[in-house]
Amino acid sequence: MNTESHPVIQAQSVSRVFSRRRGIFSWQHTVGVAGVSLELGQGEIVGLVGESGSGKTTLSRMLMGLDKPTAGEILLLGRPLAQFSRLERARHIQMVYQDPYSSLNPARTVGTVLDHALVVHGISDAQDRRRRVAQALELVGLLPRHAANLPSQLSGGQRQRVVIARALILQPKVVICDEPTSALDVSIQAQILNLLLELRARLGLSYLFVSHNLAVVEHMATRVAVMYAGRVVEMNEAEELFRRPRHPYTRLLANSGGDSRREAQRPASASL
Ligand SMILES: Nc1ncnc2c1ncn2[C@@H]1O[C@H](COP(=O)(O)OP(=O)(O)OP(=O)(O)O)[C@@H](O)[C@H]1O
Ligand SMILES: [Mg+2]
């Protein structure tokens, strides 16, 4: 399923080389990402798979503007990402990280975390902020009373809901999910994945969905890009890619992931 709308974010032949000084005259270069072109249409979920070290996080960080490409360009809503200020970027594109334990400040209540995101973006009307915090909690299936809780008083799934609420409170267009459920119990994973799908339908969000788990990617993604050694070696509609993997590495990945795909709890069967 492809949306016909223009890309919300687009990587054009993007590369990232990490250079580290080894001696006085010598440098060590590591290629993180090598000439990747990728676009995400409105409402689309592009899955990004590949073995450890293949460049998924490096690409995600560049799309977020957290790291600059050494070559190529990233366009956000058709404009070079470099032209956006940090705050402007954060309004359009947000990230949900793997580990809800380390991505929340343990000393801040849920309400403070969400309120802070609004304060940083200059929303000065306290009443408006309270309303938005309540809406964000409701959006992710939490209750108003959770605003008073510290992260340690919540379950892993509830914490990840807070992380999602924080990502969505500024109404971004794009959310980059880097292994958003791999730190959670299998039974909770399905709930969070289905919540992400529901929110995407409700809010017209676009996701770049990074995961090692092929069953998860198959469930979530409309299109899938396979990375290998810094390059996208294959990109196709999700169904087609899993039915007929073309690149040898994709076949290898599909085969080696075979066991985990069978074992993984099918998120489709879970309810919210
Ligand atoms: N800050 C850095 N300095 C030097 N090399 C880096 C840096 N960040 C990433 N790399 C290198 O770039 C390559 C891609 O790393 P990246 O973290 O993007 O992989 P990944 O696909 O996200 O892996 P994983 O699945 O383990 O999260 C690796 O070879 C890595 O060692
Ligand atoms: Mg990574």
Span 232-254, pLDDT tens digits: 999 999 999 988 888 888 888 77
> 220 alpha carbon to ligand 1 midpoint, in Å?
24
Q: In whole angstroms, what is the distance from residue 169 CA to residue 163 CA?
A: 10
**Which phi and psi angles does 161 have, rounded to 5°?**
-65, -40
CA 96 vs CA 181, 207, 230, 244, 249: distances in Å: 10, 10, 22, 30, 27
Mean pLDDT for the stretch of residues 121-137: 95
Which one of the ligands is nearest to 48 CA? 1
Closest CA to 11 of 49, 60, 55, 54: 60
pLDDT for the residue numbered 42: 93
In this structure, the residue with its CA closest to atom 4 of ligand 1 is 18
pLDDT band, residue 5 (cuts 50/70/90): low
Alpha helices in the chain (DSSP H): 56-64, 86-92, 110-120, 126-139, 156-168, 186-203, 214-220, 238-243, 248-256, 258-263
What are the structure tokens assigned to 224, written together?
């899938």
Provide residues with CB under 6 Å of ligand 1.
18, 30, 32, 50, 52-58
Contact yes or no for 40/206 (Cβ under 8 A) = yes
270 pLDDT tier (thresholds 50, 70, 90): very low
Contact between residue 106 and residue 151 where contact means Cβ atoms under 8 Å apart: yes
Domain ranges of the chain: 7-269
Ligand 1 pocket test target in 20, 29, 30, 97 with most atoms within 8 Å of CB: 30
Q: Which of 54, 179, 210 to mutate to test the pocket of ligand 1 (most atoms within 8 A of CB)?
A: 54
Comparing 99 with 216, which gets the higher pLDDT?
216
Q: Is the pLDDT of residue 259 over 80?
A: no
Question: What is the pLDDT averaged over residues 35-43?
Answer: 96
Residues with CB under 5 A from ligand 2 (ion): 56-57
7-269 folds as: Rossmann fold (3.40.50)
Q: Find, among 179, 151, 207, the residue nearest to 49 by Cα.
A: 179
The pLDDT of residue 48 is above 80: yes
Q: How far is the CA of 126 from the centre of ligand 2 (A)?
A: 37
Task: Supply the pLDDT for residue 263.
Answer: 38
User: CA 230, CA 193: separation in Å to the nearest integer?
Assistant: 27
Is the model's pLDDT at 190 over the cut of 80?
yes
pLDDT score, position 254: 77
Q: Give the closest ligand to the alpha carbon of residue 95.
A: 2
pLDDT value at 265 more than 50: no
Residue 31 Cα: closest atom of ligand 1: 12
Work out the pLDDT band at 257, boundaries 50, 70, 90: low
Q: Locate tokens 């929110």: which residue?
A: 199
Query: What is d(CA 20, CA 30) in angstroms, rounded to the nearest whole number?
Result: 8
pLDDT value for 268: 40
Among 20, 38, 57, which is best to mutate for testing ligand 1, by the most ligand atoms less than 8 A from CB?
57
SS3 126: helix
| pLDDT band per the 50, 70, 90 thresholds, residue 180 | confident
